[in-house]
Amino acid sequence: MLEMAQDMSSLAGVDLVTELKDIVGHHHVLTEDGATLPYRRGFRFGEGRALAVVMPGSLVEQWRVLQACVQAGVIVIMQAANTGLTGGSTPDGNTYDRDIVIVHSMRMRTIHLIGDGRQVVCLPGATLDQLENMLAPIGREPHSVIGSSCIGASVFGGVSNNSGGALVRRGPAYTDMALFAQVSETGRLQLVNHLGIELGDDPEDILRRVEEGNFPESSINWQAGRGHDDDYARHVREVDADTPARYNADLRRLHEGSGCAGKLGLFAVRLDTFEAEKNPVVFYIGTNATDVLEDVRRHILSSFTELPIAGEYLHRDAFNIAEKYGKDTFVIIRMIGTKRLPAMFAMKNAFDRIADRFSFLPKHFSDRVMQFMSRFFPQHLPARMRDYRDRFEHHLMLKVSASGAQEARDFLKSHFATHEGDFFECTPDEGSKAFLHRFAAAGAAIRYRNVHTDTTENIVALDVALRRNDREWFEVLPKDIEDEIIVKLYYGHYLCHVMHQDYVVRKGYDCMALEHRMLPLLDRRGARYPAEHNFGHLYAAPDDVLAHYRQLDPCNCFNPGIGQATKRRNWVAESLG
C-alpha cells in the first residue's frame, strides 16, 4: 500500500497553501479536516484526505490556481456540486503518491445565452436548476430538467460524466465545444479554446472575455460542432440492436470535456437548448407482466411517429420505499421547488458535522430527525397511483407532447384491451407528482440505510445499460445473493433500457464482495455498466476508455485513479508489494 505524501508541516505544502490564499483570498482556502470534509466525502460514496480545498471566484483565479498546483506537482481534483454517486469528484482513500488539492468551482455560476437562447455558455458552477429557470421565460429547456437537478447538480457534472437523464430524444449530455486546461506530456499547463468562439490568444484575456460574455456575433462560429448528441433519437429507436442505447464506455460520446471524468480543467462548455414542450400529457401504466411492458417499449420506439418526452420505470418495492423514505424530499420540492435545495443540503451537512461531535447522538442524526418529522406530513401521493401500487408490480410513467398524446392514447387503449395491465391519463397535478415520486426514489435507499444502521451494512448501487433488444430485462437474482439483501430498488429510464438498481445489504455482509458476484451476471446478459453515472472509483474502466483518459491527461495529475486506474504520476503501474 502506498503511503500518501500528505504532510501539512512540509515546507512545500505550506508554501502552496499560502500561494493559493494569495490567489483566491484566505476565506476561500480550507485546510482543517472539519471544514474540508463536505468536499472530501462523496454524496453516496468515497472519502479521502486533501491538502486543501480551494474555491476560486473567477475563471482567471481558477487558471492561476491550476498553474500553481501543476507547478507544485500536486494532484488536482476538479469538483462542482459533488452530487455524484460513484465518488468521482472526491479523493478515494489515502493511497496517493502526491498531495491533493480540490478545486471547488461553485462560486462561478455564470450562464450566458447566445443565439437568442438557442445555445448557452456555462461556467463551472452553473447548475441544471439555475439553467432551467433561466431558460423558462424564453420558452426553452436545457438537456436535463429534473432528476439530479433536484439536488443541485452542475451542468459541468453532467457533461464531464456523460450523464444520461430521462429525456428520451436528447441522449447523454454531450458537446463538442469546450474551453479547458490540459497538462501536456512535458508537464506544461495549456489553455485550449474549442468553444467555437474567437477570443484571442492570451489565456487570461480569453478567460475574462468568457466570464463577461463578451461574444460579438462575428466571433461565434455556428458550425463549430454539436451541442448535443443529435443522433440519439434515431439510435434509441433501433430496438433490435444487440447493444445498449447509451453507456459510459461508448467512445462515440467521449470527446475532450464530454466524458472527461475530471481529467481536464474545464472552464466553459457550450450547449444546445431545446424548445420547451407546452401542455405535455402523462400516462400512468401498470402491469404484472414484464413482457407486456417490453411490448409497450418496443412498439413506442419502433412505431410512434413522435418519440415520447420521457418514459420512467418504477418497481413496486421502489414505490413503497420512496413513499416512506422519500416523502420529505417530495414534500419539500413541492413546497419550495428545487432552487433552495442546495442551501438546504449544505445546512443539513453542517448540522451533521456538529451532531457528530456528540458521541451520544446516533449517526446520520439529521436523516433520523427528518424521517421522524415526515410521519406527520399528510398523504402526498394521488389515490390512483396508490391503487396501481396495490394492483401492479411494474409501473411506467409515459410523458408525451400534446401533439403526440392521441397516438399514445389510441395505442394504450388498444394494447390493454387484450393484455394484462391497465393505464390512466394523469391530470397535470398527478403527472407532476408521478415523476417527482419516481425521482424521490433515487435518494430513498440512502435514507433507508441511514435510519436503519443497526440492520443494514450499506448500499450496492448499480447503474446498468441493457441491450436494446433485451426482452428479459427484469433482473432475477440467485438465492444466495437474495439472502444478503434486505430490499431491492429498481427504477430507471425505461425507453432507453437504463436501469438503476439499488440493493440495501444486510448487516455483516461484504458489499464489495457481493457486487463482484453480481457484475458477472450482468456481463452474461450483455449489459454495460455504468450507464450514466461514470466510472468514478466504483467501476473498472475498459482499456480503450483508460487510453482516452491517458490522452487527455498524460501526466495523470487530474483526478488520478478514476476507473480504478493507477493513481501514480505519469500512469506508473501500482506496486503489488
Annotated binding site for FAD: 80-84, 88-89, 147, 154, 164, 261, 266
Distance (Å) of CA 158 to CA 44, 147, 232, 248, 339: 17, 11, 16, 12, 18
CA gap 528, 537 in Å, rounded: 16
Cell numbers describing residue 164: 444520461
β pairing state of 75-79 and 100-104: parallel
Q: Mention every residue, 6+ apart, whose C-beta is less than 8 A from residue 182.
A: 189, 190, 192, 264, 265, 552, 553
SS3 28: helix
How many angstroms separate the CA atoms of 227 and 177, rounded? 7
User: Cα separation of 43 and 536, whole Å?
Assistant: 12
State the DSSP code for 383.
Answer: H
How many whole angstroms separate alpha carbon 116 and alpha carbon 251?
32
The contacts of residue 418 (CB under 8 Å, 6+ apart) are none
- Runs of H (alpha helix) within 223-360: 232-236, 290-303, 316-325, 327-336, 341-355
Cβ atoms 90, 46 nearer than 8 A = yes
Report how far Cα 546 is from the mean position of its chain's Cα atoms: 20
The residues that bridge with 120 in the sheet, in sequence order, are: 113, 271
Binding residues: 80-84, 88-89, 147, 154, 164, 261, 266
